[in-house]
Chain A
Amino acid sequence: MFRASYLARKGAQLALTLFAVITFNFLLFRVLPGDPIRLIARAGHLSADEMEQLRATFGLDRPLVVQYGYYLRSLFHGDFGFSITYRRPVADILAERMVNTAILLGAATVLIVFLGVGVGVIAAARRGSKLDSSSVVTALLFWSLPTFWMGMLLVFLLGVWLHAFPISGITTPGAVYTSTLDRWSDIASHIVLPTITLALVDIGQFVLITRSSLIDVLTEDFILTAKAKGLSRRAVIWKHGVRNALLPVITASALYISLVVGGAIQVETVFSWPGMGRLVYDAVLRRDYPILESCFLIFAVAVILANLASDLMYQVLDPRVREA
């Protein structure tokens, strides 16, 4: 389907972008004033000797170029480094956190895309009606509200006042499970509030994109033809309208997933969700370079891959865009 040369070119671009990102990330954090050892020393009541040795252990006393060399070499061997704060391999830390972030974002993305597209389609189909304008206004309203505030509101309304859902963590602390299903239902009940928070805040984009894209498509000639052929309203809108209007939504979804891989840090803070967002925030405060470098590398890879995927998908779905 795709020419080998096209893929090869894309691959080379990807590699080059990644390399630039790696170098930039490496420098970015080390340029920040402060170093990870100083605060550890004060909190842990360490001696000057001990600090020097800690610095040496993590290679922080070597010149920047040397540190960069070591970093590239270990990256090549698939070694993500050793966290200064947690004294564990970064790969282990990331694996745990990524799973948690993935669960949350998987649920949120599914909800957002389906609900957002659904509302957008309805709004476009009934363009000009009260339903349309109220949907748009509501979506915009939620989009403009701060995520943290939204989260806290849901905590108090649904979690505390109605006592319908748990308000923190991924599982009930100290819980004893009778079966795997039991465990998964516990996790499910914990996912609800953070997912709703994310959905409410981010749904606006999908509503608006879907709506405007569908409105555009519905003005095309072939829609008129479909109507003239006597197809039902539902068939016109869904089979002919939405299918052609989905392209921008696909791009938006790919971008959304890649951006939110960074972990929805506000939601994670409010709901004590042990994900990537919180990890990165703490790592920045503590100047934990290995974690920061690895996390940002992953985010960059996610964005690059998502872009590539949406590029390729676009070509599959729309023959007009294919490379000649």
Chain B
Amino acid sequence: MGMGKRIIAVVGGLLLLASLTAGCTRETGGGGAARTVLKVGWSSEPDTLNPITTWSSEGQEVLQLIYDKLMQYDTSLKAEPGLAKTWEYSPDGLDITYNLQSGVTWHDGEPFTSADVKFTIDMIKEQNFGEYAQWLVDMTSVEAPDDSTVVLKFSKPQAFNPGLAIPILPEHIWTGMDKLAIRKFANDTPIGTGPFKFGEWSRGETVTLERNPDWSGTQPAVQRIVFVLYGNEDVMAQALRAGDVDILTEVPPTIFDGLTDVENVKAVSLPSFSFHHIGFNVSASPDSRGNPLLLDPVVRQALNYAIDRNQLVELALAGYGQPGSVLVPPALGTWQLQIPADQQMNANPDAAKQLLDGAGYKDTNSDGVLESPDGEPLEFRLIAIESTTVDVRAAELFRDAAAVVGIKLDLQTMDENTLGNTVYNTTDPDWDIFVWGWDSGVADPDYMLGIVLCSQIDGNNDVFYCDKEYDALYAEQATTIDEAARKSIVDEMQQMFYDSGTYIVMWYQDKLQAYRTDTWQGWAEIPGGMVYNFTRDNYLQITSAA
């Protein structure tokens, strides 16, 4: 009897003790005169700190602060000097000469020279490291005539300057490793030339970076950045409310609404470089097990007309996005082709029915589903990723819209890995239609345009679209330096692909982020987000709000 009371007393005592210690404020360098620590909350952590092998956005986010590139993106997503003070193209446009900053040192004290740049570029080209090697495809050689000059020579002019994409690695650390060794290299203490040094990575918890006092640029006000991992987005939002973190990299739409009217918190919705789309299996291979009726452009165009993208944004995305059309997202500014609303294949079920009727698709057995002239019903399989709730919702709306024009869609959801493997089965793809999305790899239309090339079948091409003319235009725009001339080619490509109806770009979703207004100030709200973007300048420009 007394035992019970004793147990309760002991447990209660422990709880009391724990709560007392919890109440103690812990010294975190956040308060005081001027703030020095920036805390960023995210719901996923980097996979590795090896810039060559990382594939996570989190890894990229941390590494872009540790490593410099030859050129960086500024807050208007234009090129600004990085490790290269200036750069110029030769008169024939085939060579790019970079004049490097002087007096730059690596985080371990070793001096930085052009040899490091030559080493990095040679390594990537030789070892053909996927993400970066694609920008060096036309490179013939890289030379370092002296310690502060690097010359990249190409066989064709390059519209996209690779200096914007490639992080420069220290030769004295990376030398001597073959491809396998690099792939397995954990790079646990990354050494770069960037504004922040690596502090520590407490796996499953935090990544800490410390300001680099010897950085070649202006010293940022932030002295330490701590990236905090949350297993749960509700708790993450709570942490922002409580002031445990200063900014969140991504806020799901359901939580975003709750943050819009919280004191001292600003929730921001910005255009992103991403879209979600519906893709059709247009593989012409005889082994393809996709429905051959999708090879008829009329069917695809009819489905384009059947759906109302504005409605998708309202219902599936809760309004946080723009209705989709072409491959290039509006965040890329003038690069996006503006197709007038009345010329878009959108929200016009009557036009869809007319198209199908005119091509000979009739409902011969009155079951509500059209049949082809050969008697094949217009019935297709539709797959979506079950954990991406916006896609599942959009798939349901699409299915309903297709039914109105006489096309039956059978929806099945699956996990991302299974969907990826189903779609990218290049031998005998066994699917018809999917719902998925893309994020651009660089702040340039080249990336999105390059997804649907013939050469990308077995690579990024998720619909097996293959048009030689399109490929030829792609090669041309990649080597056209004059912006106006390049733009007209890029426009032509967008129109061509749009007309084929192979993608239904449903929406360009907004990047939803939130930050505290009472801790750090000076956040530039730019397309792509304040953080988690191609530019790192926000980290360098913010100042303490205290």
Give A contacts to B, CB under 8 Å.
32-36, 38-51, 53-54, 57, 82, 85-88, 93, 96-97, 100, 111, 114-115, 118-119, 121-122, 125, 152, 155-156, 159-160, 163-176, 178, 185-186, 188-189, 191-192, 233-234, 238, 268-275, 278-279, 285-287
Asked if B203 and A274 make an inter-chain contact with CB atoms under 8 angstroms apart, the answer reads: yes
- B415-A119 in contact (CB<8A): no
Size class of the contact patch on chain B: 35 or more
Name the contact of A169 in the complex, choosing from B129, B185, B205 (C-beta under 8 A).
Answer: B205
14 example contacts (A-B, Cβ-Cβ < 8 A) are as follows: A35-B421, A43-B55, A47-B128, A50-B130, A50-B131, A87-B186, A155-B235, A160-B242, A167-B238, A172-B26, A174-B29, A176-B27, A238-B3, A269-B232
Say whether B130 contacts A45, CB under 8 Å: yes
- B179 touching A87, Cβ below 8 Å: no
Annotate B417-449 by CB proximity to A: 1 below 8 A, 0 otherwise.
110111010000000000000000100000100
A271 / chain B contacts, CB cutoff of 8 Å: 231-232, 235
Determine the main DSSP class of A at the interface with B: helix
Q: Once the chains are docked, how many angstroms separate the CA of A247 from the CA of B3? A: 20
A232 shortest CB reach to chain B, Å: 10
Query: Are B421 and A46 closer than 8 Å at their CB atoms?
Result: no
Nearest chain A CB to B458's CB is how many angstroms away? Answer: 4
**Set of chain B residues within 8 Å of A168, measured between Cβ atoms:** 230-232, 235-236, 239, 244
Q: Are B11 and A115 in contact, CB atoms less than 8 angstroms apart?
A: yes
B421, A272: Cβ atoms closer than 8 Å: no
Q: Are A285 and B417 in contact (CB under 8 A)?
A: yes
Contact of B131 among A45, A96, A115 (CB under 8 A): A45
Q: B239 near A167 (CB under 8 angstroms)?
A: yes
Q: Which residues of B contact A (CB under 8 A)?
A: 1-4, 7, 11, 15, 18-19, 21-24, 26-30, 37, 39, 47-48, 50, 53-57, 128-131, 133-134, 179-180, 183-186, 202-206, 208, 224, 226, 228-232, 234-236, 238-239, 241-242, 244-245, 415-418, 420-422, 424, 441, 447, 456, 458-460
| B53: contacting residue among A87, A121, A233, CB under 8 A | A87
Cβ–Cβ < 8 Å partners of A268 in chain B: 231
Q: With A and B bound together, what is the CA distance between A100 and B29 in angstroms?
A: 26
Residue of B nearest to A184 (CB): B21
Q: Return the chain B residue nearest A176 by Cβ.
A: B27
Decide if B22 touches A166 in the complex (CB within 8 Å).
Answer: yes
A57 surroundings in chain B (CB, below 8 A): 180, 183-184
In whole Å, how far is B517's beta carbon from the nearest beta carbon of chain A?
20
Residue of A nearest to B23 (CB): A164
Which B residues lie within 8 Å of A46 (CB)? Answer: 55, 130-131
- Complex Cα distance, B44 from A43, in Å, reads 14
Q: Is the CB of A272 within 8 A of B54?
A: no
Assess the A87–B460 pair: CB atoms within 8 A.
Answer: no
Select A38's contact among B28, B57, B179, B417, beta carbons within 8 Å.
B417
For A182, the closest partner residue in chain B by CB is: B26
B21, B53, B185: the one within 8 Å of A189 (CB): B21
Q: Chain A residues near B459 (CB, 8 Å)?
A: 47-48, 51
CB distance from B462 to the nearest CB of A (A): 8
Q: How far is B238's CA from A115's CA once the two chains are assembled, in angstroms?
A: 31
Please judge, given known A-B contacts A40-B55, A118-B4, A274-B204, whether A169 and B228 are in contact too, CB under 8 Å.
yes
CB pair B203–A96 under 8 Å, yes or no, is yes
Residue contact B184 to A34, C-beta cutoff 8 Å:
no
New A-B contacts (12) at CB < 8 Å, excluding given A173-B206, A174-B28: A42-B420, A43-B57, A47-B128, A47-B133, A53-B179, A87-B53, A115-B7, A118-B3, A160-B238, A165-B22, A172-B28, A174-B30
List the A residue with the shortest CB-CB distance to B206: A173
B22→A39 contact, CB < 8 A = no
Asked whether A174 and B37 contact (CB < 8 A) given A192-B15, A238-B3, the answer is yes
| Cβ contact within 8 Å between A285 and B415 | yes
A49 and B7 form a contact (CB under 8 A):
no
With both beta carbons as reference points, the residue of chain B lying nearest to A268 in the complex is identified as B231
Bound CA span A273–B39, Å = 18
Closest to A158 in B: B19
A87 CB contact (under 8 Å) in B1, B184, B418: B184
Do B130 and A44 have beta carbons less than 8 Å apart?
A: yes
Verify A174–B183 contact, CB threshold 8 A: no
Which of chain A's residues have a CB closer than 8 A to the CB of B229?
169, 272, 274
Question: Would you call B19 and A192 a contact (CB within 8 A)?
Answer: yes
Partner of B231, one of A44, A186, A278: A278
B420 and A34 contacting across the interface, CB-CB below 8 Å: yes
CB nearest to B4 among chain A residues: A122
In the complex the two chains form, what is the Cα distance from A23 to B128 in whole Å? Answer: 37
> CB distance A173 to B56 under 8 Å?
no
Q: Which residues of B contact A285 (CB under 8 A)?
A: 415-417
A39 to B184, Cβ gap below 8 A?
no
| Contact present for A38 and B421 (CB under 8 Å) | yes
CB distance from B210 to the nearest CB of A (A): 11
Alpha-carbon distance A54/B129, docked complex (angstroms)? 11
A173-B39, A174-B37, A272-B232 as given contacts; A86 in contact with B47, CB under 8 Å: yes
Please pick, from A48, A118, A119, A173, the residue contacting B228 in the complex, using a CB distance under 8 A. Answer: A173
CA distance A284 to B27 in the complex (A): 38
> How far apart are the CA atoms of A49 and B179 in the complex, in Å?
13
* Closest A residue, CB atoms, query B224: A174
Closest residue to A192 on the B side, CB-wise? Answer: B18
- The answer to whether A174 touches B21, judged by C-beta atoms less than 8 angstroms apart, is no
Say which residue of B2, B245, B417 sits within 8 Å of A39 (CB atoms): B417
Nearest CB of chain B from residue A28's CB, rounded to whole Å: 15
The closest CB in chain A to the CB of B187 belongs to A87
CB neighbours of B11 from chain A (8 A) = 111, 114-115
Q: Which residues of B contact A234 (CB under 8 A)?
A: 1-3
Given A48-B459, A53-B179, are A272 and B235 also a contact pair (CB < 8 Å)? yes
CB-based contact B55/A97 at 8 Å: no
A203 to chain B, nearest CB (A): 12
In the complex, which residues of chain B have a beta carbon less than 8 angstroms from the beta carbon of A122?
1, 3-4
Contact A87 B235 (CB under 8 A): no
Interface centre among A45, A114, A173, A275 (most CB of B within 10 A): A173
- Find out whether the CB atom of A167 lies under 8 angstroms from the CB atom of B422: no
Min CB–CB distance B463 → chain A (angstroms): 13
Return B43 CB to nearest CB of chain A, in Å.
9
How far apart are B26's CB and chain A's nearest CB, in angstroms?
5
Q: Known: A33-B422, A44-B130, A114-B7. Is A167-B19 also a contact (CB below 8 A)?
A: no
- Give every chain A residue within 8 A of B56 (Cβ-Cβ): 43-44
Distance in angstroms from A11 CB to nearest chain B CB is 35
Is B29 within 8 A of A173, CB to CB?
no
Which of B134, B183, B242, B420 touches A54 (beta carbons < 8 Å)? B183
| Of A41, A47, A152, A279, the contact of B134 (CB 8 Å cutoff) | A47
Inter-chain contact A50/B128, CB cutoff 8 Å:
yes
Interchain CA distance A178-B251 in the complex, whole Å: 35
Distance in Å from the Cβ of A48 to the closest Cβ of chain B? 4
Is there contact, CB below 8 Å, between B22 and A269? no
In the complex, residue of chain A having the shortest beta-carbon distance to the beta carbon of B134: A47
- Chain B residues contacting A164 (CB-CB under 8 Å) are 19, 22-23
- Residues on A with C-beta less than 8 A from B53 are 87
In the bound assembly, the distance between CA atoms of A59 and B235 in angstroms comes to 39
Task: Give the most central of B47, B184, B460: most A CB within 10 Å.
Answer: B47
Contact partners of B28 in chain A: CB under 8 A: 172-176
Inter-chain contact A88/B416, CB cutoff 8 Å: no
CB-defined contacts of B23 to chain A, threshold 8 Å: 164
